[in-house]
């Protein structure tokens, strides 16, 4: 005998909880019945909703049969709708669509299964449903709890009136003003981008700007000067709320930029503006600077953003050889026989396919390979190149080919790194750009704005806020400490810096750190470690671990001084260090 199992019928959110006020865990308490309480519940609702969806997709991904089974009714409905609209296209088949499409169709309608009331039957059905989805059960319960409380609070007309007056009105006014302010900034960036594109288009064909293009650039420059960034604070909002919203929206934009490959600081935008025309002409470009300063990220961003392709990439560290650069003959099976076939390396692929070639840390490359690159550096689109490794085959260099190289500063700090010869540097002509650490032009007492931008972009939540796992005061102190170490490492030892360095220890004839620095890359890695530990690792504990890993005695002493000064070491470590210092003094006296 067959049984017809009736699925729960969809009901509106407003009707789910109408039977009676939910009790205990699901009922609003006194703290919830405030403006701040409503705001907290709204944030909790959004967080738990997103967590459920993320966790479910992670758990379901990879189980193709499961997803196809859940998505089958939805796909059947889509196909039926397509037939009714007379679309002359074949039916969608679950086995032929991508996994992301299946995940979107197969994800349960979570709210459909939430209790309508607190009857035993409804709560039992709810518990059964959560048991079927153990990977999301806890966050799903939080979702329902926030939803249930908010549903009940919305019936309190007085509370909702206060909420609209105290929070929503001020919040919306501040958000609108902040968005208007940031739109003005975005407009300036768009205008700069338009001017860069006009110059790049002309450079790509190696021709001068036309009179019309010069007029368009002049008009854009005029527009740039006229963009008004002065936004009045709305009368129903405070300056603090406005600035808070500006910061939050800015952080979201910084996060988007960093996720796309590069945080667009003023320094990076300037380098791009100055470098792009030459790069589009196929001229080689060199980015030189200290370790961890985003040289490689800048090279990859420019190649992808302005050439529209994935660049070829060569890392000079390791046992790189000519075959890895140019390619080599390999034995292949073909029709049952072994034949020798040339497999192009990244340099030849870049030439033939018209791609940028990134040579990372080029001054770590063996001298004999640099000599081989001398000729290649002079090639431009349309030139011919003889591939010695492929029996002298002639390759034509296609449009889009260019070389973007990165190099560390010549210093005793960098092992196996040689200074580039004058002859080789001349191949770059005027296209040698120094990529400095963020805030390189700021004095000791100035706020490290660019380091802060990078740090916030690395760990901010989707709302543009610092994650709760990172203490706000520790975060600010850490960014200042990172900037301080960068300035000392790169040799900026002006007023305010000298108290952190040992003037008897010289690196390249200047006092400072010898090997260790909280470079932007290191700073980001530490912050992500803390945020990704979900409260297990504090920022102070992460700083302690970083300090323990420093092998150079002088560097460990300087970094300890910097971190201690900024209150970034755990109390137990400070006590231990103090005891060791006392023991050393007693030993010296005895």
What are the pLDDT digits (tens) for 57-71?
888 888 888 888 888
The residues, any chain, with a CB within 8 Å of residue 559's CB and separated by 6 or more, are 485, 513, 516, 518, 546, 547, 550
Cβ atoms 505, 514 nearer than 8 A: yes
- What was the pLDDT predicted at 416? 55
What's the rounded Cα separation, in Å, for the pair 543 and 562? 11
Which residues, in sequence order, are bridge partners of residue 408?
Answer: 289
Cβ atoms 198, 191 nearer than 8 A: no
- What was the pLDDT predicted at 20? 40
Q: What is the DSSP letter of 61?
A: T
Rg (CA), the chain: 31
- What was the pLDDT predicted at 184? 73
End-to-end CA distance of the chain: 96
DSSP code string of 333-356: EETTEEEEEEEE-HHHHHHHHT-E
- What was the pLDDT predicted at 158? 87
Q: Which two tokens stand for residue 217?
A: 């650039």
- The string of pLDDT tens digits covering residues 2-44 is 333 344 444 444 444 444 434 456 788 888 888 888 888 888 8
- Give the three-class secondary structure for 73: helix
- What was the pLDDT predicted at 211? 92
Q: Which two tokens stand for residue 224?
A: 């740039």
Residues of the chain with pLDDT under 70: 1-25, 86-89, 166-182, 228-243, 318, 410-419, 492-499, 501-511, 572-590
Q: Which two tokens stand for residue 327?
A: 């390619």
Q: How far, CA to CA in Å, does 95 sit from each of 17, 68, 80, 87, 544?
A: 40, 7, 18, 21, 52
Cβ atoms 303, 356 nearer than 8 A: yes
What's the rounded Cα separation, in Å, for the pair 49 and 110? 9
Cβ atoms 533, 447 nearer than 8 A: no
Cβ atoms 150, 45 nearer than 8 A: yes
Comparing C-alpha atoms, which of 84, 140, 87, 79 is closest to residue 115?
A: 140
Q: Which two tokens stand for residue 261?
A: 């490959």
- The string of pLDDT tens digits covering residues 430-463 is 899 999 999 988 887 888 999 999 999 999 988 7
């Amino acid at each position: 005998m067959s049984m017809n199992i009736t699925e729960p019928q969809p009901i509106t959110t407003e009707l789910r909880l109408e039977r009676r006020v939910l009790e205990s865990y699901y009922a609003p308490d006194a703290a919830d019945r405030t403006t701040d309480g409503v705001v907290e519940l709204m944030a909790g609702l959004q967080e738990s909703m997103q967590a459920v969806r993320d966790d479910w997709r992670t758990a379901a991904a990879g189980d193709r049969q499961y997803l196809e089974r859940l998505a089958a009714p939805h796909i059947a409905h889509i196909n039926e709708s397509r037939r009714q609209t007379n679309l002359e296209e074949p039916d969608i088949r679950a086995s032929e669509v991508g996994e992301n499409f299946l995940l979107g169709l197969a994800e349960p309608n979570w709210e459909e299964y939430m209790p309508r009331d607190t009857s035993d039957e409804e709560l039992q059905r709810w518990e059964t449903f959560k048991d079927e989805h153990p990977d999301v059960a806890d966050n799903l319960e939080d979702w329902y709890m926030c939803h249930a409380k908010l549903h009940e609070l919305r019936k309190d007309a007085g509370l909702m009136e206060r909420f609209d007056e105290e929070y929503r009105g001020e919040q919306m006014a501040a958000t609108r003003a902040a968005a208007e302010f940031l739109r003005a900034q975005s407009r300036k960036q768009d205008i700069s981008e338009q001017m860069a594109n006009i110059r790049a288009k002309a450079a790509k064909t190696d021709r001068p700007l036309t009179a019309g293009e010069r007029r368009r650039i002049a008009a854009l420059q005029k527009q740039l000067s006229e963009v008004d960034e002065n936004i009045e604070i709305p009368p129903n909002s405070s300056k603090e709320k406005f600035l808070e919203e500006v910061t939050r929206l800015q952080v979201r934009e910084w996060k988007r930029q960093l996720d796309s490959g590069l945080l667009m600081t003023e320094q990076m935008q300037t380098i791009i503006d100055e470098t792009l025309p030459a790069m589009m002409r196929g001229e080689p470009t060199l980015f030189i600077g200290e370790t961890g300063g985003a040289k490689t990220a800048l090279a990859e961003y420019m190649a992808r953003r302005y050439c529209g392709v994935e660049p070829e990439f060569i890392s000079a560290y390791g046992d790189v050889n000519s075959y890895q650069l140019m390619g080599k003959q390999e034995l292949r099976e073909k029709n049952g026989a072994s034949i020798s076939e040339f497999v192009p390396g990244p340099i030849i692929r870049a030439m033939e396919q018209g791609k940028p070639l990134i040579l990372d840390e080029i001054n770590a490359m063996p001298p004999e390979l640099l000599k081989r690159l001398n000729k290649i550096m002079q090639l431009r689109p349309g030139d011919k190149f003889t591939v010695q490794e492929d029996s002298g085959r002639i390759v034509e260099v296609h449009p889009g080919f260019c070389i973007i190289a990165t190099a560390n500063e010549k210093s005793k700090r960098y092992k196996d790194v040689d200074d580039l010869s004058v002859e080789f540097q001349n191949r770059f002509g005027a296209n040698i750009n120094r990529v400095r650490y963020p805030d390189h032009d700021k004095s000791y007492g100035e706020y490290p704005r660019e380091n802060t931008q990078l740090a916030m972009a690395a760990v901010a939540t989707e709302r543009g806020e610092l994650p709760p796992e990172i203490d706000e005061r520790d975060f600010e102190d850490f960014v200042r400490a990172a900037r301080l170490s960068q300035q000392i490492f790169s040799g900026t030892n002006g007023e305010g810096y000298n108290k952190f360095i040992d003037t008897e220890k010289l690196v390249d004839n200047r006092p400072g750190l010898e090997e260790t620095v909280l470079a932007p890359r290191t700073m980001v890695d530490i912050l992500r470690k803390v945020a990704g530990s979900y409260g297990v690792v504090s920022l102070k504990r992460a700083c302690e671990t970083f300090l323990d890993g420093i092998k150079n005695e002088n560097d460990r002493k300087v970094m300890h001084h910097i971190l201690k000064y900024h209150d970034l070491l755990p109390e137990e470590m400070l006590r231990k260090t103090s005891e060791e210092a006392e023991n050393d003094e007693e030993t010296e006296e005895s």
